[in-house]
Amino acid sequence: MFIDQATITVEGGDGGDGCVSFRREKYVPHGGPNGGDGGRGGDIVLVADTGVSTLLAFRYNSLFRARRGRHGEGSNKTGRSSEALVIPVPLGTTVMDEDGVRLLADLSEEGQRWVAAAGGDGGRGNARFSTAVNRVPTRSDAGYPGEHFKLRLELKLLADVGLVGLPNAGKSTLISRISAARPKIADYPFTTLEPQLGVVDAGDYKSFVVADIPGLIEGAHEGAGLGDRFLRHVERCRLLLHLVDGASDEADPLNDVRTIEEELNAYSPILGAKPRILVITKSDSIQDTAAEDRLREWATERGRECITISAVSGDGLKGLVRRLAEWVESS
């Protein structure tokens, strides 16, 4: 099951209490204070890990609490500090505040660490309060509490190329032909229910990653269809492939193109400004080339490349992969 959102509660460990203690030694008539400090509580640390692919684990376990530090002891013994509680998260995980407004961390590199909640410091023992005036202090500090936060995790897949388009534009078929990804493929809308990643071998030891997201429809940014929640997974892509069904019964295929363009711009200006290549699919079923000509003219007017392919017959796939590899390498 692919889970790309989760809310967790993190609680750093409390610090240990300081100790009140005095020396009792033979032949030492004026023993002094020797209470030790408390140990520090453990931190909660999020670490980006390639071995984790979704946020599924956080659906069943949303509370993470680090251990507290040990209390101080006599003979100036400091309590033991607790180790950090390390939580692995997928690469591409962003951490937001509880309201999902402020970005706190972006864990996009292997091994990247972020302290989600710091542990509290240990309290001071009475040995710390000894002065020339007060040689028998009976004061000590309690340990300081650790930080407590409620955080929102969102996963944004890391890919070089993102596939966007209406349902049944041929995205799943394309990714299954150029990579080892095996998404469900059928002739009804919304066959793809969750994002898919595929690694494309471009030859000469070159490869790149492609992300396929569920199809968009008009009004997706307002929740229509499957909504726009999956668009975050192509926000990190350097290039978008806008797939349009060249054999569609739609009288004007430009309506399909404009629908996706409007949804991308409505979701995010940054996403709307990403470079795109228009890909006309299902060339093996195109009966009227006039529609294809209109699409090419539209792309030319906007300075975009336009490539015609058929993922079923393989027509144009090698050229598309070669062009994508060149683009990824040069960008």
User: Whole-angstrom Cα distance, residue 78 to residue 16?
Assistant: 9
Structure tokens that stand for 276 in this block: 């795109």
Q: In sequence order, which residues have a C-beta less than 8 Å from that of residue 260 and are 6 or more positions away?
A: 164, 165, 166, 216, 242, 244
Could you please report the per-residue DSSP string of 204-256? TTEEEEEEE-PPP-TTGGGT-TTTTGGGGGGTT-SEEEEEEETT---S-THHH
Sequence ranges of the domains in the chain: 1-155, 161-330
pLDDT exceeds 70 at position 225: no
Over residues 252-307, the pLDDT tens digits come to: 788 888 888 888 888 888 888 899 999 998 888 777 778 888 889 999 998 999 99
User: Whole-angstrom Cα distance, residue 19 to residue 76?
Assistant: 9
Question: pLDDT-based confidence at 227, cuts 50/70/90?
Answer: low
User: Whole-angstrom Cα distance, residue 116 to residue 62?
Assistant: 14
Q: In sequence order, which residues have a C-beta less than 8 Å from that of residue 304 and are 6 or more positions away?
A: 276, 277, 278
Average pLDDT over residues 182-202: 72
Query: pTM to 2 decimals?
Result: 0.77
User: Whole-angstrom Cα distance, residue 22 to residue 127?
Assistant: 9
Beta-strand ranges (E) seen in 98-205 are 103-107, 113-117, 148-155, 161-165, 196-203
Under DSSP, is residue 96 helix (H, G, I), strand (E, B) or coil? Answer: strand
Kindly list the distances between the CA atom of residue 2 and the CA atoms of 24, 197, 226, 230, in Å, as whole numbers in the listed order: 63, 12, 15, 11
CATH topology of domain 161-330: Rossmann fold (3.40.50)
Q: Phi then psi for 273, rounded to 5 degrees?
A: -95, 0
Under DSSP, is residue 267 helix (H, G, I), strand (E, B) or coil? Answer: helix
- 13-27, 46-60, 152-166, 246-260: least confidently modelled range: 246-260
Question: Widest CA span of the chain, in angstroms?
Answer: 108
- Size (the chain), residues: 331
Pairing of strands 206-212, 196-203: antiparallel
pLDDT exceeds 70 at position 85: yes
User: Whole-angstrom Cα distance, residue 66 to residue 43?
Assistant: 6
Mean pLDDT across the chain: 87
Instruction: Please tell me the CATH superfamily of domain 1-155, with its number.
Output: GTP1/OBG domain (2.70.210.12)
pLDDT exceeds 60 at position 221: no
Contact between 168 and 240 under an 8 Å Cβ cutoff? The reply is: no
Could you please report the per-residue DSSP string of 181-201? ------SSTT---S-EEEEEE
Looking at residue 94, its pLDDT comes to 94
User: Whole-angstrom Cα distance, residue 238 to residue 168?
Assistant: 23
Question: pLDDT-based confidence at 109, cuts 50/70/90?
Answer: very high
Under DSSP, is residue 300 helix (H, G, I), strand (E, B) or coil? Answer: helix
Residue that wins the pLDDT comparison between 186 and 156: 156
Average pLDDT over residues 73-95: 95
pLDDT exceeds 70 at position 191: no
User: Whole-angstrom Cα distance, residue 275 to residue 261?
Assistant: 12
Q: In sequence order, which residues have a C-beta less than 8 Å from that of residue 152 and are 6 or more positions away?
A: 5, 6, 7, 95, 96, 97, 98, 99, 100
User: Whole-angstrom Cα distance, residue 173 to residue 159?
Assistant: 18
User: Whole-angstrom Cα distance, residue 100 to residue 154?
Assistant: 9
User: Whole-angstrom Cα distance, residue 298 to residue 277?
Assistant: 12
Looking at residue 89, its pLDDT comes to 95
